Structure 1
Amino acid sequence: MRILVSGASVAGPVLAYWLTRHGFSVTVVERAPALRKTGGHAVDLFRPAMNISERMGVLPRVEERATGTNRMTVYREGSRRPVRADLSKIFGATSDRHVEIMRDDLSEIYYDAARDDVEYIFGDSITAISPDGEVRFENAAPRRFDLVVGADGLHSNVRRLIFDEESRFNAFIGAYLGVLTLPNVSGLDGELLIHVGVGRTAGMYGARHLGDARALFLFRSERELDYHHRDVPRQKELLRGAFAGMHPDVDRWLDELDRTPAFYFDSITQLHMDTWSQGKVTLVGDAGYCPGPAVGGSTTLAVVGAYVLAGELARAGGDHERAFPAYERVMAAHVHGSRTVALSAAKTLIPTSHLGVWGLAQGARLISALPTGPSRALVRLTTKSARLYNSVTVDDYLPSPAASGGRGDPAGDPGDGLGSE
């Protein structure tokens, strides 16, 4: 059975890995000419995604490429005295299995896991999908596939082709995200430096293996801003306007906008779809149920969704009419929960009042100052994200040795489980 996957960021390579382990023939098409290895930002892998990564045999590489960020210094806008926090204690309180890693590093690790078993086509994209499975491309000759999966992100090309206009599924949550790469002139190593004001938060961090740094910008807007998602000059203009006069540090970061080798900007938008499937096509990760970039745990959700989709297709013997509804049933509660988490996280990370700014700084200080036990209890009582990620459970979809070419489950024991305990 031949399956085409569009997108080679995170969900696409994870899905390709598990589909091949279940005996399917997989082709991945990616618009970019090669894997993206510059820019990007740090993403979080929580317990279920860590467990799946372990099953894939890539957990040592994931942990090796962790950013190592374990300290945070917070400056409230208008205040000279910073608040310092122990991030390792906060992360540990949120989830007992967690890694922060650069998205590009994670994508490469997942790609490498099955690159020899998957056909990858770079520098091309889908232009049409017929009901009988014929797919047309910008460059390659038409081909026929049994199933097509869109794993191509918030602005999914596959979703646009199958479900028409994008805007009717978008739920703007009132905020924007910008990321740029810049020289690590401050020598940040394992530290996140943050400036927080009402309606805007800017931060800079450097991962120990990067050699450069990332500046992260989050800001609120009551209305959706007028720009195209590929209009980079306009995006930079909006970012400068949102953070003008915040702090000399932030001004220096913004000065790098015209020199940065990599830049990302987008609205923090959720996707609300009644179904992610139509005919022989389905969606996975941000393409189908983005909870909001940077605030909703979308990377963990994408890894779990890819694992579940591959497992349900295997369980149904490739019958998409059974597998797609089963996949959506399994993921529904996780998707709805992630949306709630995203709204809560956005409110915390981009405070709407001076009290919220004070609360963000002092809350981080308090949690990091408490002993591990009380700090963990406090986080779990006050954050929805901790409760969500610690409650995510999915079935074991173990490929048979025959289907996986004798490789079986890389992590071994069928009783390992991918649950919350």
Structure 2
Amino acid sequence: MTKTVLISGAGVAGLTLAYWLRRHGFRPTVVERAPALRDGGYKVDIRGAALEVARRTGILERARELRTDVRSGAVVDRTGKRVASMNGDTFGGREEHDAELLRGDLTRLLFDLTRDEVDYRFGDAIAALDGTSVTFESGRTETFDLIVGADGVHSRTRELAFGPESGFVHDMGHRVAICTVPNHLGLDREEVTYVSPGRTTLVYSTAGQSTAKAMFLFTEPAGIDESDPRRALREAYAGQGWEVPRLLDAVTEAPDLYYDRLAQVRMDSWSAGPVALLGDAAHCASPASGQGTSLALVGAYLLAGELAAAGGDHRAGFAAYESRMRQFAERNQRLGPANIKRMVLRSAGQVRMSMVMLAVLSRLPGRDRMMAAMMAPLHQAANAIDLPDYSALAQHP
């Protein structure tokens, strides 16, 4: 049954799929546009059903050892006064068994599992598809039995196989920017958030990192030219309080700025012939959902397992994968629009009311229980799937 599978994208979804395809006797090749595995990055959460996938993949304990260990979170006003403070798990909406680590640490764990068994090609990408024939940007042409696009919300694979992204990528009306900044606040495994109308800024430090990460979430900046993300960010945040001006200066020098619209991907089908989509390429829930990493882990596990269960018949395997995954993905997608309304407040009145509520909540003796109740929809969605056991199909230990 050995089949060759080209995976586009060496992120969490692509790397997890490579591991499980190899376990089930397939021969995966991973192509990644970046010149090397992407290290560092922002913090991500593994929760719900994805914890069991991580356990079956053999990385859960190590992922917990690499935890960010963010111990506390606070909300401040424009003068820097702390309005509310909570422990890190409560602030981040994490349950006891959830694992939070840097994205780069997670991808490194997954890569190390298969680096000697999988053909990894960095610094290249798919340029054209003709059935199962793939032309790469390097000029090379090869034929694979199956092709999987795990190349993110702006998937080139999806564009080639399904059409322009305008038909599938739906703008949520907000922007996100993330980058590394100097830890001038002296944060020690802490997260600090500043909220103003239409603008949310947060800075956090994690275990083992001398620098900090800054994140900017804001309403679509009408009338601002976004061709230069650094300039767009500075214009969008002009006149903001707290440490925002200093953070914007740091953004100017940041080598790793990520700037994009918050968007979701919605498609009627995740496969076309020998091509299937996985993770954000198929069903991006947006960073506002908090579930992108978990969806990537679960989806990759299911896709490999269902292909194996179908004996390599991609039509049956792709259909079974989508049947198992679609409701889970759509339920987690619904978290995004609801969460962004709480993360980015529209008016000064909403900001004032939110600050008062947070100040009161942080002082109540039952605050952890109340916060847990507020986060219940997230954890219910994260667990809203039953994972099949494909271990009997494994061909490699």
Task: State the TM-score, normalized to the length of structure 2.
Answer: 0.93
Amino acid at match of 2:50: A
Task: Look up the match of 2:191.
Answer: 192
Task: Look up the match of 1:57.
Answer: 58
1:327 deviates by 0.9
Equivalents in 2 of 1:346, 1:257: separation in Å? 23
Equivalents in 2 of 1:95, 1:219: separation in Å? 27
Instruction: Describe the SS at the equivalent of 2:186.
Output: coil
Task: Look up the match of 1:142.
Answer: 141
Equivalents in 2 of 1:308, 1:181: separation in Å? 34
Task: Look up the match of 2:12.
Answer: 10
Task: Check if 1:301 corresponds to 2:289.
Answer: no
Task: Check if 1:322 corresponds to 2:316.
Answer: yes
TM-superposition CA deviations, 1:22-56 (whole Å, max 9, x none) = 11111000001101124x21111112222211111
Task: Look up the match of 2:67.
Answer: 66
Whether the 8 Å CA contact 1:174–1:223 is kept in 2: the answer is: no
Task: Look up the match of 1:280.
Answer: 274
Task: Check if 1:392 corresponds to 2:385.
Answer: yes
Aligned length: 395
Equivalents in 2 of 1:57, 1:99: separation in Å? 14
Cα gap change, 1:333 to 1:104, in 2 (>3 Å): same
Task: Look up the match of 1:257.
Answer: 251
Cα gap change, 1:72 to 1:137, in 2 (>3 Å): same
Task: Look up the match of 2:368.
Answer: 375
Cα gap change, 1:59 to 1:363, in 2 (>3 Å): farther
Instruction: Describe the SS at the equivalent of 1:328.
Output: helix
Whether the 8 Å CA contact 2:135–2:141 is kept in 1: the answer is: yes
1:294 deviates by 4.1
Equivalents in 2 of 1:20, 1:253: separation in Å? 44
Instruction: Describe the SS at the equivalent of 1:153.
Output: coil
Equivalents in 2 of 1:146, 1:369: separation in Å? 59
1:367 deviates by 5.9
Amino acid at match of 1:104: G
Equivalents in 2 of 1:322, 1:363: separation in Å? 51
Instruction: Describe the SS at the equivalent of 1:241.
Output: helix
Task: Look up the match of 2:161.
Answer: 162
Whether the 8 Å CA contact 2:70–2:191 is kept in 1: the answer is: yes
Listed as ranges, the gaps of 5+ residues in structure 1 are: 408-421
Indicate the percent of aligned positions where both proteins have the same amino acid: 38
Task: Look up the match of 1:418.
Answer: none
Cα gap change, 1:235 to 1:307, in 2 (>3 Å): same
Listed as ranges, the gaps of 5+ residues in structure 2 are: none
RMSD of aligned C-alpha atoms? 2.2
Task: Check if 1:122 corresponds to 2:105.
Answer: no
Instruction: Describe the SS at the equivalent of 1:266.
Output: strand
Cα gap change, 1:370 to 1:64, in 2 (>3 Å): farther
Equivalents in 1 of 2:108, 2:73: separation in Å? 27
TM-superposition CA deviations, 1:361-388 (whole Å, max 9, x none) = 455556665567x734653356521321
Cα gap change, 1:244 to 1:383, in 2 (>3 Å): farther
Task: Look up the match of 2:110.
Answer: 110
Instruction: Describe the SS at the equivalent of 1:82.
Output: strand
Amino acid at match of 2:234: R
Task: State the TM-score, normalized to the length of structure 1.
Answer: 0.88
Cα gap change, 1:127 to 1:74, in 2 (>3 Å): same
Equivalents in 1 of 2:312, 2:128: separation in Å? 23
Instruction: Describe the SS at the equivalent of 1:270.
Output: strand
Task: Look up the match of 1:271.
Answer: 265
Instruction: Describe the SS at the equivalent of 1:393.
Output: coil
Equivalents in 1 of 2:378, 2:353: separation in Å? 18
1:63 deviates by 1.2
Whether the 8 Å CA contact 2:80–2:242 is kept in 1: the answer is: no
Task: Look up the match of 2:49.
Answer: 48
Amino acid at match of 1:390: N
Equivalents in 1 of 2:389, 2:365: separation in Å? 36
Task: Look up the match of 2:90.
Answer: 89
Amino acid at match of 1:320: H
1:215 deviates by 0.4
Cα gap change, 1:362 to 1:84, in 2 (>3 Å): farther
Whether the 8 Å CA contact 1:170–1:269 is kept in 2: the answer is: yes
Deviates more, 1:100-109 or 1:18-27: 100-109
Equivalents in 2 of 1:283, 1:368: separation in Å? 43
Task: Look up the match of 2:329.
Answer: 335
